[in-house]
Amino acid sequence: MKDFVKRFRAEDKAKAQENSRRNFLRNSALGGLSLGMIFDHDPEKEMEYITQKVNKSSNPSALKITDVRIAVIDKAPMICPLIRIDTNQGLVGWGEVRDGASPKYAMMLKSRLVGQNPCNVEKIFKIIKQFGGQGRAAGGVCGVEMALWDLAGKAFGVPVYQMLGGKYRDEIRIYGDTPEVEDPAEFAKKMKERQSLGLTFLKMDFGIQLLANIPGTLVGGKNWDLTKQWGNNPSAKGNARSYSWTKHPFTRIQVTDKGIEYLADYVGKVRGVIGYDTPLSADHFGHFDVNTAIRLGNALEKYQLAWLEDMVPWQFTDQWRQITEAINTPTLTGEDIYLKEEFIKLIDAHAVDMIHPDLASSGGILETKKIGDYAEEKGVPMAMHFAGSPICFMANIHCAAATENFVALEHHSLDIPWWEDLVTGIDKPIFNKGFVKVPDKPGLGVELNEEVVKAHLKSGEMFFAPTDDWTKIDSWDRDWS
C-alpha cells in the first residue's frame, strides 16, 4: 500500500510539473499570440525556442584545456606572438607574448596547462609563474594568463573586468607614444598630428642618441667599445642608447651643458606647438648616470612634463629615490618589472612618483591589478606601458577599467592602418578621440580575424601550427621540498 501511494504521488507530481511547464509556455505572449499557438502546441519546439539564448556550449566546472598554439604577427608594431588555448567544449582563449619575447616562453608551459580547468586562473598562475622572470622572460606566463581570463569570462558569460571586481570607468584614456625625429620642428609637427587624432595625453622620445652627431654634447658617447669592455652585443647599433647589456651607471657617458641645453630646447619647441593643455611625458633617454639624470630633470622642469621615464634601471631603488628627491618633474619606471614584490620595494621606498607596469611582463591581468591596488593604497598613480596587438591591448583595457589609480594606457600602433582589423567582435574604431570604450562582451571582448592575421604573419611562421612536441612534462617543477 505504501509503495502504491509513493508511486501515485510521484506520478501526480510529474504531471503537475509537466502541466505547469506547458501552461507557462503556452501562456507566454509573443505579438499577441501564445507560444503554443505559434508552435502548434508542440512542447519540444516551444522549449527549443524559449531556451535558444541559453549558453549550452560551456559547463565551467568541466572545462578543460586541450591544446596551446602560437601564431606570430610581424610589426604590429613589434613582433607579436599570439597564443591560442583550446578547450574540450569548443571555447577558445586568446593571449599574447610580449613584444620582443620568444614564443617558446609560452610553449614550454603547455605541458603544465593541458588538462587544467582554465577558470582556475589564480591557481594555474601560481603553478606557472616560476617560469617567468624580469623583462621579456615573463612574456609566456603573462600571455597565458590573459588567455585564461578570456576563457573564464567566456565560460561564465561575463567580461574580464567584472571578474576583477567591476569597473571604475567606461572609457580608457590613451596616451600616444611618438618615435623620435631628429629635426625638432618636424617632430613637433608629428606631435600636433597626434593631437588631431583626439589624443589628450602624449609621450615623446628625445633620448641622448639625438646628440650622437652634435659635437660637444656627449662625453664618451662615440668611443664606447662594447666588444672590449662587455663582449659582443648584437642589439647595439652604434649610438648611446642601444647599449642594452650595459646598465646606465656603468657606461660613464655624460651629457655636457651644451647637450642638456639642446635637449631642453627640443622639448621647448614641441611645447610651443602643442601647448600646455595636453599632458606630455618623456620616454627612455638612454644610458647615463644619476648625476646626468638630475641635471637633465632640472633643465626640463619649466616644460611641466607629466613624467620622466626609465632614467636609470628599475633595480636601483636608492638611485631612483635620489633622482626623485632632487627634481620636481615626476619620475616613473616599471615596464620591465615582473610581479608585485619589486614594485612594492619601489613604492615603499618612495623611489618614484608613478609606476608603469607592462601587463605582458608584470604578471598578467590580475597581478597588474594587484600592483595598481597596492600603489593606490600608498597614493601612487599608475600609467600602463603597452606595445602589441589588439589582443594584449584589450587585456590592458579590462585591467585599467578595474583599477582605481589608473592614469593612461600607451598606444604604440597609431601609424599601423591594419592594426584594428586584427580582431573582430568590437565596435570600430576601437580607438576613438583619445579613448577606448570598455567592451561588455564575455572575456576580453574580441575574437581574432584569421584572414588579417594570416596576411601579416612573420615570414616563415605558420598559422597556429600543431605543438605536439611541447605536450610532455620533462622536469620537476616544484620550487619547494
- pLDDT for residue 108: 94
The continuous run of DSSP H or E covering 11 comes out as: helix 2-27
Q: What is residue 39's predicted lDDT score, i.e. its pLDDT?
A: 54
3-state secondary structure (DSSP) of residue 223: coil
Distance CA 251, CA 73 (A): 35
Of 101-105, 240-244, 273-277, the poorest mean pLDDT is in: 240-244
DSSP assignments along 194-210, one per residue: HHHTT-S-EEE---GGG
- Which tens digit of pLDDT belongs to each residue from 361-401? 999 999 999 999 999 999 999 999 999 999 999 999 999 99
Q: Is 234 exposed, middle or buried (0-12, 13-18, 19+ CB in 10 A)?
A: exposed
Which residues make beta-bridge pairs with 33? 30
Q: What are the cell numbers at 47?
A: 522549449
- Within 10 angstroms of residue 311's Cβ, the number of other Cβ atoms is 29
Cis-peptide into 77, omega within 30 deg: yes
Looking at residue 10, what is its pLDDT?
55
pLDDT of the residue at 45: 58
Rounded average pLDDT over 463-467: 95
- Give the model's confidence band at 3: pLDDT under 50 very low, under 70 low, under 90 confident, else very high: low
Give Cβ neighbours of residue 190 (< 8 Å, ≥ 6 apart). Answer: 178, 181
Say which range, 15-29, 112-126, 303-317, 344-358, has the weakest mean pLDDT: 15-29
User: Taking Cα atoms as reference points, which of 194, 196, 197, 201 lies closest to residue 178?
Assistant: 194
> What's domain 60-159+464-470's superfamily in CATH?
Enolase-like, N-terminal domain (3.30.390.10)
pLDDT digit string, tens, across residues 414-423: 999 999 999 9
Mean pLDDT (whole number) for 277-288: 92
Question: What is the tens place of the pLDDT at every residue in 226-266?
Answer: 444 444 444 444 444 444 467 777 888 899 999 999 999 99
Q: Are 313 and 244 in contact (CB under 8 A)?
A: no
Q: Domain 163-442 falls in which CATH fold?
A: TIM Barrel (3.20.20)
Name the most confidently modeled range: 101-105, 159-163, 282-286: 159-163
Closest CA to 472 of 131, 109, 127: 109
Residue 18's pLDDT is: 53
Weakest-pLDDT range from 181-190, 393-402, 469-478: 469-478
Contact at 8 Å (CB) between 366 and 360? Answer: no
Return mean pLDDT, the chain. 87
User: How would you class 247 by CB atoms within 10 Å of its CB: exposed for 0-12, middle for 13-18, buried for 19 or more?
Assistant: middle
Asked if residues 159 and 440 have their Cβ atoms less than 8 Å apart, the reply is yes
Q: Count of alpha carbons within 13 Å of 457, Cβ hemisphere only? A: 14
Per-residue model confidence (pLDDT) at position 287:
85
Q: Give the distance from CA 427 to its chain's centroid.
A: 19
What is the per-residue pLDDT across 430-455, written as a single tens digit (0 to 9) for each?
999 999 999 999 999 999 999 999 99
Q: Per-residue confidence at 27, pLDDT binned at 50, 70, 90?
A: very low
Can you give the residue ranges of every domain in the chain? 60-159+464-470, 163-442
> What digits encode the pLDDT tens for the residues 67-81?
999 999 998 888 999
Task: Please give the average per-residue pLDDT across 303-320, as a whole number.
Answer: 97
Instruction: Give me the pLDDT at residue 246, please.
Output: 74
> What local confidence, expressed as pLDDT, does residue 252 receive?
84
pLDDT at position 264, please? 97
